Structure 1
């Protein structure tokens, strides 16, 4: 069983932003006494451009802009498997105009890495939905099933790509190792797009990617999906024929959630402002399009429900990663 992962300490990365005043439209509670009015809103993506987290952050920012009339600037702050971006938000205590496109790394980083925060250090706003992964290989790979991959990992070895040293990819490969009694050789990348490049370039043999990240390469035939790490097969037509790992005797399924958070210590008005905006986004065609184009499950929750979800998901993740 693998030991917990450590990374180099992340240096100070942020300067606290000053909250100013500007008008906000689209149903925002502007004009009321004590109402929150965002200024210079930033959406941090803690990974590089081109991957699933980047797509999620930009979709959320666009949806919130439409709901509020407020401009939201997306900033990629990659590094440390997401720790640089989360550290930046942690330094923005009390600033309701700072947001971050969050996913399972919010929970796995504090469990496996020496950072100064955990999920309770932030203000959860919305879980957008759930995103399982596919085990994929290059088109000319000798592997035809996930069972083939496991057998090779127990023999001559398999080089697996992970987008972040403690990402969802790391988690699912660890769970496969625990379930099957094998071990993968890992090569970490900073995003799903880099994993795809590594697969196509022959740097790695197998990868775990969200369907939305890799659908283009699957449709072009450059990559093949061997199995999905989900409880049931996808209903989306493009990948409905891909078997689950469970069907192949590998008892592993784990979803990555996606959503967004704000810094800790923001006002109740700021928290409610973003929850209201998130609810408007989820009711829009833009949200439905994002979910369907990225082959996700639309399980949105907000505020207190999101807090409860994170607590339970963190406990489940800690149990899964325990040495």
Structure 2
């Protein structure tokens, strides 16, 4: 288990013991009692199709929250509109604490890039698990051997970059790189990260910005190579410690996709406190550590108002990038 995950699990456990919500803390305190009152059938909405990163996250969170409450949590995929269908459905469940949604950066990018009936302030932030920072990857036989080389090549000639839609994290990252370096990539849109990888392997595109968990297998097999990671620090997962950050290569870009949980807007304070207590208990356990490690995420759990402040800051930054 990476050191960052171990440290966070220990800190979360200590917090639960201090606040009386841990399993070994004696008689349950007010938060623990509230947590156990979540006895209704609950629906976890995933606004994308089965098998993708959001689906994996939604199912992991649902199982984790179900394990620390008496709620029965069913995952329901409501895909379409690059996530807009699922978020629009949650909008109709205002005030109902028996609905949750597995959220990520599309929550912010969709209202900025498309005409939606919602924005992030219409929902109740519950928990952010951590962040995915994308890797710039190429085929093994690519002549490019670093992010700086990719940028220099884009200044001289056509470099084709695959992206999974205008609202995707990879499109945001390429936009940030272009704004920072004054260069331009010829972007080709696809419907999913899987299609981007297939096109990269087939040689139809030159570069792609993808989450580590999406390309871990191809990196291990040697079919793809990572040029850099768009993060503040290098990943400390095995096999990734040697991948430099973009900033190490002179490109001032670091931006991660969060993964977390929303509730509908307008839920009661008591319901929110129950979900917050359950979220903290989930993060303190092995299921959270296993999900983070398996998904190759950078753990950074945030709850309630802290998650809301993170969304405020991220939205302001994306407004500047996507609506310059």
Partner-residue secondary structure (3-state), 2:298: coil
Using the alignment, how far apart are the partners of 1:175 and 1:106 within structure 2?
18
Residue 310 in structure 1 maps to residue 315 in structure 2: no
Structure-1 residue corresponding to 2:115:
114
Structure-1 residue corresponding to 2:27:
none
Contact 2:112 2:323 in 1 (8 A): no
Counting only pairs closer than 5 Å after superposition, residues 191-270 of structure 1 correspond to structure 2 as 191-270=192-271
* TM value normalised by structure 1: 0.84
- The root-mean-square deviation of aligned C-alpha atoms, in Å, is 2.0
Which segments of 5 or more consecutive residues in structure 2 lack a partner in the other structure?
Answer: 1-31
Cα distance change of structure 1 residues 200 and 109 upon mapping to structure 2, 3 Å threshold: same
Deviations 1:72-127 (A, max 9, x none): 22223232222222112112222222111111211121222211111110011001
Using the alignment, how far apart are the partners of 2:270 and 2:192 within structure 1?
34
Using the alignment, how far apart are the partners of 1:51 and 1:242 within structure 2?
24
Matching residue within 19, 38, 41 for 2:40: 38
* TM value normalised by structure 2: 0.84
Which has the larger helix fraction?
2
Using the alignment, how far apart are the partners of 1:79 and 1:62 within structure 2?
24
Cα distance change of structure 1 residues 160 and 101 upon mapping to structure 2, 3 Å threshold: same
Aligned length: 293
The list of structure 1 runs, each at least 4 consecutive aligned residues, that deviate by more than 6 angstroms after superposition, is none
Which segments of 5 or more consecutive residues in structure 1 lack a partner in the other structure?
Answer: 1-26
Structure-1 residue corresponding to 2:274:
273
Using the alignment, how far apart are the partners of 2:158 and 2:122 within structure 1?
40
Deviations 1:40-99 (A, max 9, x none): x22222223333222211211111111113332222323222222211211222222211
Using the alignment, how far apart are the partners of 1:217 and 1:284 within structure 2?
30
Contact 2:104 2:260 in 1 (8 A): yes
Partner-residue secondary structure (3-state), 2:138: strand
Using the alignment, how far apart are the partners of 2:278 and 2:197 within structure 1?
34
Partner-residue secondary structure (3-state), 1:48: coil
